[in-house]
A = this chain, B = another copy of it.
Amino acid sequence: MNKCDQCIVRQLSSLKALNKEEVVKLANSKTTHKIKKGEAIFEEGEVTNGVFCVKDGIGKLSKLSANGKDQIVKLVKSGELLGQRSMISNEPANLSAKAIADMEVCFIPKSEIIHFFNNNNQFSMNLMQSVCEDLKDSENDKIALVQKTVKQRLAETLLHLHDAFGENADKTLKVQLTREELAGMIGTATESCIRLLSDFNKLELIELTGKKIVLKNVKALKKLAEQL
């Protein structure tokens, strides 16, 4: 069993507030899991009874619609927690969590989290703040969906991916999404997304080499994302 006190991830999540004793308790109750790209951590409707802490890799939270499209609500990376919302609300998961790149996650049982929540004010405040952050993001996304065009949302999303996940040595975006997934993030049809990427490519806002994407003109993308 990995010792949690050496896990860098702990520094990033709400768990950073835990004291030595609590970390030991955590290490004894958590279980570690490897999730391959494409596999699910949990599915919509499942009762998880705990939270997952992302140690490595990238995951997506999404919901399948009646017409078969997968709307991506959020991407998660190292240091983030998954499943807090439904755990706190005592509800089955509202969204599915799947790996976009191979992941390593730790499962922490509900009883532990509740215990920390009730006994460590800093932890409960951290957890609260992370949910509040999600709420703010979600509200802003909602507004963007209504007030911005698909083109603007694509520009915005590319910038966000760059910001949140960074780039490789060759300047390509680190997150590797299929066009379909990217379309699912911005809420549009796959074809529309592909078309706009081509447009951006022609306008030299981005560069497409295979499925790798390089942001060539961040300033222009920003302008595009902002402007009315």
**Chain A residues within 8 Å of B, Cβ to Cβ:** 63, 65-67, 69, 71, 73, 84-85, 88-89, 91, 94-95, 117-118, 121, 124-125, 127-129, 131-136, 138-143, 145-147, 187-188, 228
Known interface pairs A66-B228, A147-B67; A129-B73 also in contact (CB < 8 Å): no
Contacts of A136 in B (CB 8 A): 85, 89, 91, 94
Q: Which of B94, B118, B121 lies in contact with A139, CB distance below 8 A?
A: B94
Mostly, the A contact residues are helix
Please measure, in the bound complex, the distance between the C-alpha atom of A73 and the C-alpha atom of B128, giving whole angstroms.
20
Query: Which residue on B lies nearest to A61, using beta carbons?
Result: B139
Contacts of A188 in B (CB 8 A): 146
Q: Which of B65, B66, B132, B145 lies in contact with A131, CB distance below 8 A?
A: B132
Q: Which of B88, B118, B124, B129 lies in contact with A89, CB distance below 8 A?
A: B129
Please measure, in the bound complex, the distance between the C-alpha atom of A67 and the C-alpha atom of B148, giving whole angstroms.
10
Please measure, in the bound complex, the distance between the C-alpha atom of A136 and the C-alpha atom of B94, giving whole angstroms.
8
Q: Apart from A117-B121, A131-B131, what are 13 other A-B pairs with CB-CB below 8 Å?
A: A65-B147, A66-B228, A85-B136, A88-B132, A89-B133, A95-B139, A118-B121, A124-B128, A127-B128, A135-B135, A142-B142, A145-B145, A145-B146
Contacts of A131 in B (CB 8 A): 128, 131-132, 135
Copies in the complex: 2
Please measure, in the bound complex, the distance between the C-alpha atom of A66 and the C-alpha atom of B146, giving whole angstroms.
12
Query: Which residue on B lies nearest to A134, using beta carbons?
Result: B135
Please measure, in the bound complex, the distance between the C-alpha atom of A71 and the C-alpha atom of B66, giving whole angstroms.
26
Q: Which of B128, B139, B228 lies in contact with A67, CB distance below 8 A?
A: B228
Q: 7 closest Cβ contacts across the A-B interface?
A: A146-B187, A138-B138, A65-B147, A66-B228, A118-B121, A135-B135, A145-B145
Query: Which residue on B lies nearest to A228, using beta carbons?
Result: B66
Query: By the criterion CB–CB under 8 Å, are B133 and A142 in contact?
Result: no
Query: Which residue on B lies nearest to A95, using beta carbons?
Result: B139
Please measure, in the bound complex, the distance between the C-alpha atom of A89 and the C-alpha atom of B71, giving whole angstroms.
27
